[in-house]
Amino acid sequence: MDHEERIILDAQHGKSESFRRLVERYQHPIFQMIFNLVHDSHAAEDISQDVFIAAYRKISTFDPMRSKFATWLFTIARNKSINHLRKKKRDLSRVHGETATDADPCRLACKEELFQKLDDSLKQLPLRQQRAFVLAEFENLPYEEIAQIECISIGTVKSRIHRAKQKLRHALEQIIGEPE
C-alpha cells in the first residue's frame, strides 16, 4: 500500500488529519481546474470548498478499485463547476494578474490583450471541448483519467481535444494576423 492509499484509508476511518493532508495535496490543482473552467477566482474558491466538503462527506464511498483518488476528486470538481456554469450562464469574466517584473507598459498591455483574446477564444469553445482541453493541457491529466472524469471513451476525449486545439489554433492565427 502506497502512502496516499494509507492516507485515504485513514481519512475513510474518520481521521481528519489525514483528510487535511489530502486537501493540502489537491487544493491547488482542483482550484486551477475549476478556475480554468469558470474564469472567476472567487467562484473557483467557493466551488473548491464545496468540492472538499462533498469529498469529506462522501469519502467512505470512494473505491480505489474503480478509480484513482485524483480522478474521483476531479470528477466532483467537474460536476460542481458544470452546476455553477449552468447557474451563471457562462457570463463570468476572468481576471489576469500581472507580476512586478512586467515593467514595460506597452509589453504589459499587449500581453494582457493577447491573454484576453485567447481567453475569449477558450470561452467560445463548446463546454465539453473546453473541459477536455483544460484537463489535458492545464491539469496535464492523461486521456484515460479525462475519459473517466467525463464518462466518455478515450476516442471521444482525443476528438474533443483535437477539435479544441484546431479552434484555438485558428483563433490564434486570427489574433496574430490582425493589423496593429
Answer for the pair 72, 62: CB distance below 8 angstroms, yes or no.
yes
Residue 68 lies in a domain: yes
* Contact criterion met (CB below 8 Å) for 58 and 83: no
Does residue 176 have a pLDDT over 80?
A: no
Of 30 and 121, more confident: 30
Q: What is the pTM of this model?
A: 0.63
Q: What is the CATH number of the domain that holds 34?
A: 1.10.1740.10
Helices 16-38 and 69-88 cross at an angle (nearest 10°) of: 40
For the CA atoms of 75, 134, 157, 74, the dihedral, rounded to the nearest 10 degrees, stands at -10
In the chain, % of residues over pLDDT 90: 49
**107 and 139: one domain?**
yes
pLDDT of 18 reads 93
**76 and 110 fall within a common domain:** no
Residue 131 Cα distances to 9, 94, 102, 160, 169, angstroms: 30, 16, 30, 9, 17
97 falls within a domain = no
Considering the domain architecture, whether residues 1 and 84 belong to the same structural domain is answered as yes
CATH of the domain at 152: 1.10.10.10
Q: Structurally, how many domains does the chain consist of?
A: 2
Say how far apart CA 30 and CA 33 lie, in whole Å: 5
Q: Do 82 and 163 belong to one domain?
A: no
What pLDDT was estimated at residue 103? 54
Domain residues for 41? 1-92
Higher pLDDT, 112 or 79: 79
Question: For residue 100, is pLDDT > 70?
Answer: no
Shared domain for 6 and 84, answered yes or no, is yes
Q: No. of H helices and E strands in the chain? A: 8, 0
